[in-house]
Amino acid sequence: MTSAKEIEVRPIAKRDADALIKRVHYSGKVVRNSTLSLGVFLRGQLEGAMQFGPSLQKSNIVGLVRETGWNGFLELNRLAFTDILPRNSESRALGIALRMIRKHYPHIEWIVSFADACQCGDGTIYRAAGFILTAIKVNKDLHIAEDGSVVHKMSQITGKDRLKHFAATGGRWRGTGKTLEGYTLRYIYFLNPAARSRLVGEELPFSAIQSKGAAMYRGVRGKQAMAGYHPVQRRSSTDPHAPATEERTDDETRKASVADASEIASRESRPAPAARRAAARAAS
């Protein structure tokens, strides 16, 4: 049986990462300003990609952690894996990537990433990998365009048609089109543990995801979609959404997320075989 220990992670060309992401990521889109692309290989074949780079709204994000240099953090822009990779591949590959960044780019103190709980999931992979939750916000950035595609407001504001966009909005810094219903969750991983004390604002308990109604798993909203809130009997049940019999504390939830990584890590970012857009993400 294939094991996640067989995967290899190494740098690849952006064009190769882009091609895989367009093929298997639920959005089908790439982030143009990604600067670091890491490929995930199984027996010599590229089966996954992780892309890091500056945030689109960097001036807003850099202030999340006090005294962070302008180039002192990165955003995990995209994480996409094929269903050929074995279980635990996502968590193992992400762990390797974080260690590589810490070793080769010591000036990078932390990594930020966003979970799309409008279309995909609320961040199971991030919680299992040791990220902390720092924000849950009602989506105001993703919009449904006239052709039915989902677009981020920044692609409208900074894109080639930005002058036309500002003319249509009266010069306002906002997106156009119907706002996509759902939430955006922000996660941070501290490569430099000392930087955690400089976090602006409070860390949120994972239970806040459910209490705010932001839970989503593989595009499904609701309490049972809450990744990390598997029922107590989940470990011995063949039903991944068996009814809960009691609530867990945040610490129990965090431990369960890690303990169940063999299952949840195999699903969050991997596309469903029959429907790529129903698949779950990886960073994005």
CB 4 within 8 A of CB 81: no
The answer to whether residues 23 and 154 belong to one domain is no
CB 52 within 8 A of CB 111: yes
The answer to whether residues 246 and 155 belong to one domain is no
Range of the domain at 71: 4-139+182-278
pTM tops 0.75, yes or no: no
Q: What is the pLDDT of residue 186?
A: 95
In a domain, 283, yes or no: no
The Cα–Cα gap between 282 and 158 comes to 25
Write the single-letter amino acid at 184. Answer: T
- Among the ranges given (173-187, 201-215, 269-283), the one the predictor scored with the smallest mean pLDDT: 269-283
DSSP 119: T
Q: What is the pLDDT of residue 176?
A: 55
The answer to whether residues 55 and 158 belong to one domain is no
Q: Locate 175 and state its tokens.
A: 């997106």
Give how many domains the chain has, as a whole number.
2
Tens of pLDDT, residue by residue over 8-59, are 999 999 999 999 999 998 788 898 889 999 999 999 999 999 999 999 889 9
The answer to whether residues 166 and 239 belong to one domain is no
Write the single-letter amino acid at 265. Answer: A
Tens of pLDDT, residue by residue over 232-281, are 222 222 222 222 333 334 444 444 444 333 333 433 344 443 333 333 34
CB 50 within 8 A of CB 92: no
The answer to whether residues 46 and 86 belong to one domain is yes
107: domain CATH number is: 3.40.630.30
In a domain, 284, yes or no: no
The answer to whether residues 81 and 159 belong to one domain is no
Q: What angle do CA 12, 83, 47 make, to 5 degrees?
A: 15
Q: What is the pLDDT of residue 88?
A: 86
In a domain, 220, yes or no: yes
The Cα–Cα gap between 35 and 77 comes to 10
DSSP 81: E
